[in-house]
A and B are shown apart, each in its own frame.
Chain A
């Protein structure tokens, strides 16, 4: 296997190709079977369109998923793929990433898969910083089991399993990931192709665990969950897209901004504050990233998108391989010597 260094940390070790690729090359021969109008189609198209630009050998890309609607994703990608079991994709992908530095490994998961049954694996993968790209499709509902509330559903959600309203307080997936000290956390909206592609690209380039939360509409069981973000006027008032190193302003003319308040952040009108009070995004600052994540409320009054955090720290898989390489360099693999150990005795005939 030839490993060509692309100069992209997240993909170093993964072989590249000069062959021109198109989105079509990434479509498998399997018929896509999501419901008509499902946000998953949009994400699938975005991923299939964006991957060719990485120039990787297709056979060195692997998609691993758990269970749920979004977890059907690997079947539709003409790459290697495993549709595994509920919640366990990060663990399986970790085993693959640890043993195979020449692969670009992606995890596709949903709010139930990643945050409910698989919550433990998600937080531990993030804290270990395994070089995996995790796409969390958040539609705030259980789709495949036909419409029960999920760990990201709002309190009081009336569903088949909660006719009197759900009692659980929802997770904010970005806050959760940052709490686990994920080295890369981003958020995008299914309908925003450019924004989604930008976050995906940055995730791919990042070496380490990258969690990308994608707001995704379920037209059958939770239709319109994100509609307020898709209305052009509303979106202007609600979506705060952050860019590393730039002042955080939003609105049609940048009339809104983010300022410090107490231990956290708040939204203000740009006209009401001194320009120097507008917070400049620093994706390497964990506290700032976390404070930004708290600006996103469940009711979508405000939603922060873009890359919250991007920080360099050693990845688990690189470090694990380094330990193996160092051990190999230090000591020959002499099985006979190992089996003999220190204390032997010999019986002669």
Chain B
């Protein structure tokens, strides 16, 4: 029997299994295959905070969702079209998201009575009617994998562990994916254990052949390459793009980088990545705590390096005092906050954008700090470069607000020509005749960066209030007032590009304003409501402090402004306070990104309300 091939414009696949099942790796490989094939794509991993929650339980479920298409897409997809469930827990935790008629591929080997009871199934869903509304494919993946590896001599337990590659092989066949990349990858990954490498390759091929030779699957699918802009692409996650942006900042400023940091989810991968690139004059110091991490970064900046620290919300709380010192000493410093669910330890592996007001105001005294937020995984590169530009040019700490969704999500990235990247060269102070520690550049209000070792510029700085110009300690009331205003004016005067409004029809009366990682879902929702004939304008803010100069004017142009956020309305609060516009919040704090569908409904309702 020949299988039918159907053409699709987009597919969302979710791989779900136990956290020990290798679902992240499986998803990652499928992503690379889609990327190599030329699809546009977006991914979203979702995993528990526990490294290995008890096997086969609901808290131990790890999943990886991948959206790939023949056109440019903005999100990892609201719901999977295909769910691969490696055990009953993965099925139970994810099947609610599968739409009626969706494809469900189940590893039947794990559906034992014991495993079913563990997650509260009274009867085996594969044997009752509960899955009738889906296209269910029951595949004994573990058994088939063990069978395929019989001749390798590998123990049963080791052989069974390759079942995720069986699943990958099967899905690769179903969607006509190229396979060479995965085989090459496996051989490289397990270069030191050639038997394991071979076992994984065999399992991968067994999955492919299972699809090809059995008649279980009547249909395969094709998703043609997307028409992306001309150029060379790669797949990249937000954390990697952030790390690369920092490397680029080192290169473009010709400064060494010192990353002082402390491991914390979901920011640690920035440390891991940067620690590999010492050849770019990058030093990484894993400090004893969050406070030491930023202290080390600030000390390095004082010495003329670009100091960087990376953390998540709880770490920002600990670093606040040192950020204040950097505000007072007016030294460049890059502070990366990969936001996660809060407060306190909160939801370490989930996403949220609730640190905006902490970034804005979370310090004692009047302590203004510029804030930059990336809107997608690949955008982290440009955004962090811009944060470095601000830090270096204006001699200030800058907060970079990434989040779990962009940090761990991935998408294709049009690799930039390195010569086209902004020039971040700085000039250190050298002239003892004119030097004053707190004299200011009339244009930027930045003070001179006078690094130790420069003859004749010996001076003392610190956290005590400074006398204007001389930088000596000053308790003078008038001077303090002046300095508070000067520090604020410096931040307010930072040059940031105008916000660009996306309103293809030019007839929108409703403006949706977002920031950070909600760009994808908001953008996708806006496209959908426009298709329904409802015009909507979308403005997305990269710069949260200072706001773009045209923002007030933009906000006032529309009858209604709606602000979706993964918090309780923090940007909306700022917009209302600063611009006196009646910005309406739409908020959700579930540790997950918005779904395009829910925002579509929200926007449609608002637009209809305005027209009515």
Please say whether chains A and B are actual partners in one complex. Answer: yes
Which of B282, B321, B453 is in CB contact (< 8 Å) with A103? B453
Which of A99, A332, A339 is in CB contact (< 8 Å) with B279? A332
Q: Pick from B48-56, B90-98, B458-466 the stretch touching chain A.
A: B458-466
A332-346: contact bitstring with B at CB < 8 Å (1 yes, 0 no)? 110110111101111
Starting from the known contacts A60-B453, A99-B300, A331-B279, 8 additional A-B residue pairs (CB-CB under 8 Å) come to: A60-B452, A75-B460, A79-B458, A88-B322, A95-B299, A100-B303, A345-B232, A347-B229
Q: Cβ of B233 and Cβ of A347 under 8 Å apart?
A: yes
Q: Once bound together, how far apart are the Cα atoms of A79 and B460, in whole Å?
A: 8
Q: Cβ of B278 and Cβ of A323 under 8 Å apart?
A: yes
- If A336-B418, A347-B230 touch, whether A81 touches B279 (CB-CB below 8 Å) is no
Residues of B within 8 A of A64 (CB): 299
**Residue B547 interfacial (CB < 8 Å):** no
**Residue A43 interfacial (CB < 8 Å):** no
Which of A30, A94, A339, A348 is in CB contact (< 8 Å) with B295? A94
Q: Once bound together, how far apart are the Cα atoms of A324 and B280, in whole Å?
A: 8
Q: Cβ of A120 and Cβ of B288 under 8 Å apart?
A: yes
B555-585: contact bitstring with A at CB < 8 Å (1 yes, 0 no)? 0000000000000000000000000000000
Q: Once bound together, how far apart are the Cα atoms of A341 and B241, in whole Å?
A: 12
Residues of A within 8 A of B272 (CB): none
Q: Cβ of A83 and Cβ of B463 under 8 Å apart?
A: yes
Q: Once bound together, how far apart are the Cα atoms of A337 and B596, in whole Å?
A: 36
A residues near B, CB below 8 A? 1, 28, 30, 57-60, 62, 64, 67, 74-75, 77-85, 88, 90-100, 102-103, 120-121, 124, 320-321, 323-324, 326-328, 330-333, 335-336, 338-341, 343-349
Q: Once bound together, how far apart are the Cα atoms of A92 and B309, in whole Å?
A: 13
Closest to A80 in B: B452
- If A95-B258, A95-B260, A102-B453 touch, whether A335 touches B248 (CB-CB below 8 Å) is yes
Q: Cβ of B282 and Cβ of A324 under 8 Å apart?
A: yes
Q: Cβ of A83 and Cβ of B460 under 8 Å apart?
A: yes
**Residue B292 interfacial (CB < 8 Å):** yes
**Residue B289 interfacial (CB < 8 Å):** yes
Which of B228, B288, B305, B459 is in CB contact (< 8 Å) with A80? B459
Residues of B within 8 A of A60 (CB): 452-453
Q: Once bound together, how far apart are the Cα atoms of A116 and B294, in whole Å?
A: 19
**Residue B251 interfacial (CB < 8 Å):** yes
Q: Cβ of A84 and Cβ of B463 under 8 Å apart?
A: yes
Mostly, the B contact residues are mixed
In the assembled complex, the CB of B453 is this many whole angstroms from the nearest CB of chain A, namely 5
In the assembled complex, the CB of B335 is this many whole angstroms from the nearest CB of chain A, namely 14
Q: Cβ of B299 and Cβ of A81 under 8 Å apart?
A: no
List 16 A-B pairs, Cβ < 8 Å.
A59-B458, A67-B463, A80-B452, A84-B325, A91-B295, A92-B296, A95-B295, A95-B298, A98-B283, A99-B300, A120-B288, A328-B279, A333-B280, A338-B244, A343-B35, A345-B232
Q: Once bound together, how far apart are the Cα atoms of A74 and B227, in whole Å?
A: 62
- If A100-B303, A346-B233 touch, whether A121 touches B295 (CB-CB below 8 Å) is yes
**Residue B307 interfacial (CB < 8 Å):** yes
Q: Cβ of A82 and Cβ of B329 under 8 Å apart?
A: yes
In the assembled complex, the CB of A84 is this many whole angstroms from the nearest CB of chain B, namely 6
Which of A88, A96, A341 is in CB contact (< 8 Å) with B302? A96
Residues of A within 8 A of B248 (CB): 335, 339
Q: Cβ of B35 and Cβ of A345 under 8 Å apart?
A: yes
Q: Cβ of A75 and Cβ of B233 under 8 Å apart?
A: no
Closest to B258 in A: A99
**Residue B346 interfacial (CB < 8 Å):** no
- If A74-B462, A83-B461, A84-B325 touch, whether A96 touches B452 (CB-CB below 8 Å) is yes
Q: Once bound together, how far apart are the Cα atoms of A110 and B251, in whole Å?
A: 40
In the assembled complex, the CB of A6 is this many whole angstroms from the nearest CB of chain B, namely 16
Residues of A within 8 A of B460 (CB): 28, 30, 74-75, 77, 80-83
Residues of B within 8 A of A78 (CB): 458
- If A96-B299, A103-B453, A343-B35 touch, whether A82 touches B462 (CB-CB below 8 Å) is yes
Residues of B within 8 A of A344 (CB): 232-234, 415
**Residue B247 interfacial (CB < 8 Å):** yes
Q: Once bound together, how far apart are the Cα atoms of A298 and B281, in whole Å?
A: 47
**Residue B99 interfacial (CB < 8 Å):** no
Q: Once bound together, how far apart are the Cα atoms of A91 and B262, in whole Å?
A: 13
Q: Once bound together, how far apart are the Cα atoms of A92 and B232, in whole Å?
A: 41
Q: Cβ of A91 and Cβ of B452 under 8 Å apart?
A: no
From 423 to 469 in chain B, residues with beta carbon under 8 angstroms from any chain A beta carbon are: 452-464
Q: Cβ of A335 and Cβ of B418 under 8 Å apart?
A: yes
Q: Cβ of A330 and Cβ of B302 under 8 Å apart?
A: no
Residues of A within 8 A of B461 (CB): 81-83
Residues of B within 8 A of A90 (CB): 292
- If A91-B287, A95-B298 touch, whether A333 touches B251 (CB-CB below 8 Å) is yes
From 320 to 367 in chain B, residues with beta carbon under 8 angstroms from any chain A beta carbon are: 321-322, 324-325, 329
Residues of B within 8 A of A1 (CB): 453
- If A85-B325, A85-B463 touch, whether A75 touches B473 (CB-CB below 8 Å) is yes
